[in-house]
Each structure stands twice: as structure tokens, then as C-alpha cells.
Structure 1
Amino acid sequence: MTTPEPPSQQPSEPAHADRVFRSSLGIAGGVILLVLAALLGGDSLFRGEGRVPWITLAGLVLVVPLIVAFTIRPAVFANDERLRIRNPFRTIVLPWGSVADLRAGYSSEVFTQDGDKYQLWAIPVSLRQRKRAARNAARASQDDPHGRSSVTADVTDTKARVAPTDQTVADLRELAERLGGRPEAQGAPQIRWAYEILAPAAAGLVLLVVLSVTG
């Protein structure tokens, strides 16, 4: 366990821990795919003959990182200083001062002051949930045509009228507007490629190509 540095040497940390946004359905789907790959691939590795085990190994080295990249890896982390977006092949760090807007259309996106756009893979848009929220809002407006809140209405009823993705993007937009002017939230965007995903996937692809050429 790492020992904390003295206050004079320790780098400044966010005042609050990260709020993490991930897709539970994406993670569940990724786990299922990984289990299937392990079962099918393991059978071919241990029971296959000739070049089959090698082809299976190359396929697993290629496919497993891609499954992880598109299902388990995506996440969005937000604190008082910055928005960190972990997409399949890149990690983008955006200080709040560099964020111009966040929108949820057919996909969730963040726009920077420089005009760049990045998708939020961890916050997928569900048209079904959006339609359900629209029906709830329409039903509520029929119950009270003047738009007044009833005494028994609570926060849960209000949130039911907004799709979860739209609510999440609205919360992140509110953070950007509220924290974007802080000195600690200034700086340029930073982008890092996910070599831990790209390297093994590329190795598996190269191995597949070699096996197909030499076959």
C-alpha cells in the first residue's frame, strides 16, 4: 500500500471523489461474450487438431481485447476539476473549462471550446427509454393541464419523465457550467490511446494473417 506524501509534496487532489457513469447492460453483455469466447475457444485449444489451436489462439488474442474495449472498458469519470472519458480505444481528459457543451441526440457527445467532439460510449442513448419518458411526461401533463406539481409528486415521479441518459447528460452539463470557471478546472484536453487494448488486438490480427498466408 502506498504511503501518502507530505502535504508539501503531495499533488493536489479533487475535493470530491469521481462520479462514475457506466453502462450496466454493456458490462453484462461483455461478461457473457467473454464467457462464450472462453468456452468455445478453450474447447478448440485443447481438442483441436493441426492448425486449429493456433488459429483459435490468434482469434482469442484479437477478439477478447475488442470485447473488453466495447463493453467493459467504457466509463465516464467526473469530479470538481475535469471530465475523464474512457472510450474503447482512447481516454480523453477534459478540464471543465475546456468543455463547451454536452448533448444527447442519437449518441451522447461532449463538445470542447476548440470545436472538437467526443462520444461518451459509457452513456448510450436508448430511444425506448426516451419514448417511455415522453409518455410519462404526456400522462403527467394530462393529469395536470396547468403543469402544477401535485402534493404527492416526488423526485422519482419527476425523473420518470426524463430518460436516464438525458438526465445524466443534463447533470454533466450542469457540472460543466458550474465548475468551468474555477482555476483548478482550466487546461487543455489530453488524449491517450489505449495501447493495452490495441497492442494485443494487433498481435492477434498479425498472427491470423500469418497463419492464413502460410496455410
Structure 2
Amino acid sequence: MRTFHLPLVTLLLLLVTTSAQAIVLVAAELPPYVIRTQQGTPSGIAIEIMKEAANRLGEPLTIELMPLARAITQTVHRKDVLLIPPVRSTQREHLFYWITPLLDDEFVIVTDRRVHPNPLKVKDLPSLKVGTLRYSFGQYLLKQRINLASQTVATEELNAHKLQRGRIDAWVAAWNAILYNQHTGGFSADELVRGETLMRTPLYVAASREFPFSEGRRWQATLDEMRKDGSLARIIRQYNYQAPE
């Protein structure tokens, strides 16, 4: 009797352990999508969306917060993690399994009203100092569109300070990231002039190309359900997010 039950008990223990294993979410620190807090638990629109999805799936969620460049590298080489919130591009297309979009934003040019009171277009940028986030989609767009090497920094809030101090002439980033970091930098959005929109694009949840397809489909289905029942819109509204029209 013992020899019959021991393997069965072992199997049950393995199943329990497997089902309780937390999903690791690699979160690129990109406010307002992913925000580092003083309490240690990250917040932000993308974080709240993924927490709700994990709750519906009945799966624990372990969040690893890190800079964008490291988050991208980590996800490429780790087959068991999810990544938020990268933008899908031709440069990154082959790197990831693109599970589903989370929300939309627009990459735009902004300037300081005191220096450049008129909205700028892409064609105006080659003669100017333009700030972007290092390894960001904004940096990629400028290189792709006009072969412009921008001045890069580690956080978007640094771009807000550089624009305020006249160290850059223009700032290219996602519109909601600009608004958030302008505020946290201690400046008013009224000081900004919004110029040309470079691209409207979704921000995704992605994973390594070796991430299990069946697991990715579960997350996709759950996030689609949240989109249909209004949960995504509710979370987005809580952050005063300005979705593209």
C-alpha cells in the first residue's frame, strides 16, 4: 500500500508547487506605465493592468523593476518572464513573443514655450538639440526617420529638467510620459508646446520567443476580456491618461 501512495503523494505535491509558482513580470521603469514607489511595490498603469490580469488567472505575480535597456536584455534571455511595456518596432520584432497590446500612446515632439513658441515638425529637428530616453522608441524613431542622433538620458524626468534649463531644444517621447515627468519634475504642462506626432503606437506585454505559447494565449485572452468588460478603461482613467483620439 505504501509503495502505491508514495508516488501519488509526490505527484500531488509537484502539481501544487507548479500551480503556486509566481509569474515573473519584468517591468521597465517608465512612468506613468511603470512607477517606482517609496514603499517598494511598483505602481503605474501597466502594473495595475497586469495585477488585475494575474488576479483573474489566479496566479501570484512577482515584479522585477529595472531600467528599460536591462529589462529588454533580461527578457530576451529568460524564457519564463513577461515584459511590460515595450513598443513593437521592426528593430525589436524578432526579439520577442508579442502577446497583446495593453494601451495606446503617441510619440510627439515638445518644446519649451519660452524658447520655441511655435509647434515643431520633424523637418525642424536636425539643426536642434533633441532629447530622448536611452534605448527608447523615441530614440529609434528619430534615427529611422531622419537619421538623427539624439541626446539620450537614463530617465524621462531628466529630459524635463534639460528642456527647462535650455540644455535641449526639443524632447521626443510618448505624450503621457512627457506629461507625467513634466509634473514630477516640478514643471507645468502649460510650459510645453506640442509639435508633430511622430507615431501613434500600442504598448505591449511581451515575452521571450521561447515563452510557452499556451501560457501567452491565457494572458492574451484575459487581457482581451478586461478590454471588453471595461476594466482596462477603468484603470486607465484612474491615472488621468490621455489616450489618443
Q: Which TM class, normalised by the smaller chain length?
A: under 0.3
TM-score (normalised: structure 1): 0.26
Q: Which has the higher helix share?
A: 1
| Max Rg structure | 1
